[in-house]
Amino acid sequence: MTSSMTTYSRAVSKVILVLAIAVLVLIAAGAYFAMQPTTTTLSGTLNVAAFSGYNDAALQKIANDFQAKYPNVTVNVLGIPYGQSITKYLSVFQANLTTYDIVSMGSVGFMGSLNPYLMDLKSYLSDAKYFPSSYNMSDVIPSLMPLYSYKDKQLGLPEAGGAMLFYYRPSFFNNATIQQLFQQQLGYPLQVPTTLKQLTDIAKFATGNQLSKYGVTLMSGSDDDDAIQTYLALMAGLRNDASSQYGPVTAPYGVLMDSAGHLLLNSSIGIQALTTYTELVRNSESPGSASYSTTPVYFANGDAPMMIYWNPPVFWLNNATRSKVVGDYMVAPRMPGGYSVLGGTGLSIVGNTPNRDLALRFLAFATSPEESIYFNTINSLMPFRYSVFTTVIAANPALSQQLNNLVSTMTYSVEGSANIPNWPQISTVFRTTIPQVIQNQKSVQDAVNEMMSQIGQFTP
């Protein structure tokens, strides 16, 4: 599986001042449980599949709280490696075993493979027995819900959010000398880019005038799925603007397909996004080989005025032991072009669970405002609720603007990768073809034609 969340989960950053957040959590949790008396009306055993080293510690804490509330319930948290999860799930589901009642889900590839075996939550979300008004569905960042949808079914709920962000250094954009030079050469004022043209103009300007080592840092390595995620982040705004032509961005097809599942690589917006991506890569560090691990390091060293990357560096860029841009980096409220792509993980109920009522209650409990904060404070995952972000921001006042803009970007983001079984093959074709464009061995049009021909072998 070549999911962006595979790499995302490798290096989720530790939240600064986590102890401060934990204090707030304990206070909130204490108040919550004071209002929720222990009850014995529920009984039974639940098996919950967690991603080892990713969300397992938070789920164990939540399981402990659930068992404290319902003493006759046992919740077993079963850790499995993220990269093996789809294979393990399928082996269980296809044999019609009841090994798991609830499973952890990634945001790419999971629904395409597992949707026949998951329970549709749509009718239950409006049932106050499981999701009362205190659950507050309006507190969930709405753009994250489609990640766990498949066509007309809601097959899971988010437990953590994420998005590809646009980072920039204010010292570059506020420099009067640089502003004057940019106006002279480009004919318009320098500003934080909001369009793809401005983005490429600034990257070329910075390197062409040797104002920075690189114009931008972004992932381009041929061995990493994050390269195509970066491309999709650049295409997201174009795709959203073309909804009247191609239909809205819908699950499970994402940015790279129209609402009927047809590939848009060779469309005008697909070609425009790919042209932008390759131009940016040529003005970035290690063109064609920049990876998930190297890209933020160059930005942290002050080697570029801009970066396109996932959200983990939001916190550690403000750590002087790891970053030279402390106090000189910002997250834009939107990706240039207007929209970005999402990441994150969620929870789903297995369709053949013999414990449906208990599973629904645990799912609502785990993703409630009071309990879901543990995914952040214990496993350092980005929140999926506005209220949890408010708590994190309160504990990190120096990063309030960055975090508020992160929430804004997540709000203006869509599903990037198609959540279909053959997405890994599509991603592989992209990753092995694009380096030839970067190295000027192929034109963008020739690369698109070649990719469409190869992908046609996989697309049903």
The whole-angstrom separation of Cα 269 and Cα 247 is 14
- pTM of the complete model: 0.86
> Helices then strands (H, E): number in the chain?
19, 11
The whole-angstrom separation of Cα 59 and Cα 378 is 9
348-378 CB burial, b ≥16 within 10 A, e <16: bbbebbebeebbbbbbbbbbbbbbbbbbbbb
Question: Rounded to whole angstroms, what are the CA distances from 403 to 162, 313, 314, 377, 389?
Answer: 12, 11, 8, 15, 8
The structure tokens 């910075």 sit at 206
The structure tokens 């841009």 sit at 325
Task: Enumerate the H helices of 11-127 as residue ranges.
Answer: 18-35, 56-69, 85-94, 110-114
The β-bridge relationship of strands 340-349 and 330-331 is unpaired
Could you count the other beta carbons within 10 Å of the beta carbon of residue 37? 7
DSSP 231-269: HHHHHHHHHHHTHHHH----TTT-TTB-TTS-B-TTSHH
Q: What is the pLDDT along the chain (460 residues), one digit of tens a residue?
A: 334 444 434 433 433 344 344 444 444 444 444 444 445 589 999 999 999 999 999 999 999 999 999 999 999 999 999 989 999 999 999 999 999 999 999 876 788 889 999 999 999 999 999 999 999 999 999 999 988 998 889 999 999 999 999 999 999 999 999 999 999 999 999 999 999 999 999 999 999 999 999 999 999 987 767 889 999 999 999 999 999 999 999 878 899 999 998 999 999 999 999 999 999 999 999 888 899 899 999 999 999 999 999 999 999 999 999 999 999 999 999 999 999 999 889 999 999 999 999 999 999 999 999 999 999 999 889 999 999 999 999 999 999 999 999 999 999 999 998 888 788 888 889 888 988 899 889 999 999 999 999 887 766 5
Of 119, 27, 151, 20, residue with least CA distance to 420: 151
pLDDT for the residue 218: 97
Backbone angles phi, psi at 306, to 5 degrees: -145, 155
What's the chain's length in residues? 460
CB 397 within 8 A of CB 403: no
pLDDT for the residue 179: 98
The whole-angstrom separation of Cα 325 and Cα 425 is 38
Burial (0-12, 13-18, 19+ Cβ within 10 Å), 450 = middle
CB 442 within 8 A of CB 436: yes
Give me Rg for the CA atoms of the chain: 22
Domains and CATH numbers, the chain: 4-162+344-398 (3.40.190.10), 165-341+418-455 (3.40.190.10)
